[in-house]
């Protein structure tokens, strides 16, 4: 989807800081890796379901090389010290026609500022325009902030807990 690859909006965080939410670009590779490196071990565990300190080069390539058809990714960019830095992101990956898995990550110092909800809103817009009917996610039960983002999305949702995970299905239509 050409429009998704050009997506860009400005959002205000709860504390008043302004961030750009835009399509991930190939030249964001370094910023993406730096953002992952700034995440706490707990944030990485909640995102990847296992303790870890960083992402491998292969994982970074997977997360950055998106086609904006089957794999759509947005990043949140803020100004820090006069430089634009990646502070979070969200993505969906098509798993079946009309259904995509969604995931988010926000650098710790920006958590609790409404960024996850903003990323969710913008990914929902792109997904609907692409004909996706459902977004699905697997979330650790203790990841209350992510479960709250889904609950506050306004989308009809079904949750099911099994084997230490919460399965969330969000209906877009």
pLDDT tens sequence across 1-31: 568 999 999 999 999 999 999 999 999 988 8
pLDDT at 62: 81
Residue 133, phi then psi, degrees to nearest 5: -100, -30
pLDDT at 57: 79
Stated pTM of the model: 0.90
Q: Where are the domains of the chain?
A: 2-171
pLDDT at 46: 67
Q: Which residue ranges of the chain lie beneath pLDDT 50?
A: none
The two three-digit tokens of residue 165, written as one number: 């995970």
pLDDT at 2: 60
Residue 57, phi then psi, degrees to nearest 5: -60, -40
3-state helix, strand, coil in the chain (%, to 5): 35, 35, 30
Q: Find out if CATH 3.40.50.970 is the number for domain 2-171.
A: no
Q: What is the pLDDT of residues 148-158, one digit of tens each?
A: 999 999 999 99
* DSSP at 14: T
d(CA 152, CA 69): 26
pLDDT at 40: 73
Beta pairing, strands 134-139 & 99-106: parallel
């Amino acid at each position: 989807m050409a429009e998704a690859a050009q997506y860009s909006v400005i959002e205000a965080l709860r504390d008043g800081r302004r961030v750009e939410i835009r399509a991930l670009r190939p030249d964001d590779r370094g910023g993406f890796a730096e953002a992952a490196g700034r995440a706490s071990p707990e944030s990485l565990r909640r995102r990847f379901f296992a303790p870890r300190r960083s992402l491998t080069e292969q994982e970074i390539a997977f997360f950055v090389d998106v086609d904006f058809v089957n794999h759509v990714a947005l990043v949140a960019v803020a100004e820090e010290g006069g430089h634009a830095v990646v502070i979070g992101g969200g993505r969906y990956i098509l798993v079946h026609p009309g259904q995509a898995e969604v995931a988010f990550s926000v650098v710790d110092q920006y958590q609790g500022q409404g960024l996850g909800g903003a990323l969710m809103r913008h990914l929902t817009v792109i997904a609907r325009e692409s004909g996706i009917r459902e977004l699905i996610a697997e979330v650790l039960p203790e990841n209350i902030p992510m479960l709250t983002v889904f609950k506050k999305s306004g989308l009809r949702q079904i949750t099911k807990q099994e084997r230490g995970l919460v399965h969330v299905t969000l209906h877009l239509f």
